[in-house]
């Protein structure tokens, strides 16, 4: 049975009108560029988040947006922008990526990440990472420095060391909040769902040259079996980008997103059925939800149209475009 979408956000934005130079001839229209991010989807409501907690999460999303948008504003690539935004969230203990990642059934952290270039369809991903400070940086190196798309576990970490990427003890990723929740679960206590996002952070970007990119990073599901891999590092499932259609980053219950091939399905519906971004995004998410999962996705197309769809009570998300529009939101009814 399909699970109805409780809420979604649509922001359809096109390039603005040309501005005037002085009082005379109009300038050429500037290409629209911008960034969309998410910090996870889950049981997030105003009633469950303190004022201080809400401010902290909004500030974290604003910092990630600022980091990615600054790259675009200075003429940088969409790839650099999504990496900058995701890195900011990997470094923020509030999010389930990098420091603050969830804990496996064995009491460790195993992290996954992926990045994709919409211009070339090049992609890189990593899974089962335990000691690399920035999984998204390692995914980028896999894309650019190897003939492969995905590296996992010890092999991926050996490559990271060879590339000189910062390595950390596994405990680096642990936060008191995540550990407390894990301990309650292991003791079979009836604990409320944590206020952290369900899982995963991500970003999609469109740069001044019209190139799209996507990046996703996650600690995965709390108490997952060691070795479990979700949708985030799987190209075409949790992460996808093509200049011909759109860039997508997903968040939610990965096992269902995997079966529905969600991220690529958004692109395919645009490419083969000619659907607009929002309709393609909603249709693709609904396929995963019909299987029993929950979550959401962000998407951005080459014209600057933005779609955010989810069926959870909340989804941490934000966008900023060069026409001056932008927002940061957490709850379903905003």
Note the pLDDT tens digit of each residue in 116-128: 999 999 999 999 9
pLDDT of 26 reads 52
The dihedral sign for the CA sequence 74, 77, 80, 85:
positive
Note the pLDDT tens digit of each residue in 171-214: 999 988 777 777 776 676 555 544 444 569 999 999 999 999 99
Give the dihedral of Cα atoms 272, 273, 278, 280; nearest 10 deg.
-70
- Domains, in order of start, for the chain: 7-11+29-331 (3.60.20.30)
Nearest CA to 258 among 226, 282, 224, 293?
293
Which structure tokens are listed for 255?
Answer: 């096992």
Q: Which spans in 133-241 are helix H?
A: 135-145, 153-162, 176-186
CA distance 238 to 137: 17
CA distance 144 to 328: 32
Q: Is the confidence at residue 284, as pLDDT, over 80? A: yes
Q: Is the confidence at residue 327, as pLDDT, over 70? A: yes
- Residues with a catalytic annotation lie at 200
Give the chain's mean pLDDT. 88
pLDDT of 49 reads 85
Estimate the crossing angle of helix 78-90 against helix 135-145, to 10 degrees. 150
Note the pLDDT tens digit of each residue in 10-21: 443 333 323 223
């Amino acid at each position: 049975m399909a699970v109805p979408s409780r809420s979604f956000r649509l922001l359809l934005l096109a390039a603005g009108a040309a501005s005037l130079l002085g009082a005379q001839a109009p300038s050429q229209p500037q290409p629209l560029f911008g960034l969309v991010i998410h910090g996870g989807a889950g049981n997030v409501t105003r009633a469950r988040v303190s004022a201080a907690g809400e401010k902290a999460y909004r500030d974290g999303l604003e910092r990630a947006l600022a980091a990615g948008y600054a790259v675009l504003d200075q003429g940088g690539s969409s790839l650099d922008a999504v990496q900058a935004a995701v890195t900011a969230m990997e470094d923020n203990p509030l999010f389930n990526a990098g420091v603050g990642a969830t804990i496996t059934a064995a009491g460790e952290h195993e992290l996954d990440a992926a990045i994709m270039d919409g211009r070339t369809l090049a992609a890189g991903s990593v899974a089962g990472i335990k000691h690399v400070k920035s999984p998204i940086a390692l995914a980028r190196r896999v894309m650019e420095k190897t003939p492969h798309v995905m590296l996992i576990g010890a092999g991926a970490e050996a490559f990271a060391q060879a590339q000189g990427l910062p390595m950390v003890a596994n405990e680096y990723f642990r936060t008191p909040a995540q550990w407390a929740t894990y301990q309650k679960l292991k003791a079979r206590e009836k604990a409320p769902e944590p206020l952290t996002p369900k899982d995963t952070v991500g970003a999609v970007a469109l740069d001044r040259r019209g190139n799209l990119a996507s990046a996703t990073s996650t600690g995965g599901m709390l108490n997952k079996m060691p070795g479990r891999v979700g949708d985030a590092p799987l190209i075409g499932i949790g992460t996808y980008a093509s200049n011909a259609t759109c860039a997508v980053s997903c968040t939610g219950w990965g096992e269902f997103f995997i079966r529905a091939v969600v991220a690529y399905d958004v692109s395919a519906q645009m490419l083969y059925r000619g659907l607009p971004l929002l309709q393609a995004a909603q249709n693709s998410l609904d396929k995963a939800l019909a299987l029993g999962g929950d979550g959401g996705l962000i998407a951005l197309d080459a014209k600057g149209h933005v779609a955010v769809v989810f069926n959870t009570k909340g989804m941490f998300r934000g966008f900023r475009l060069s026409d001056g529009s932008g927002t940061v939101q957490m709850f379903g009814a905003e």
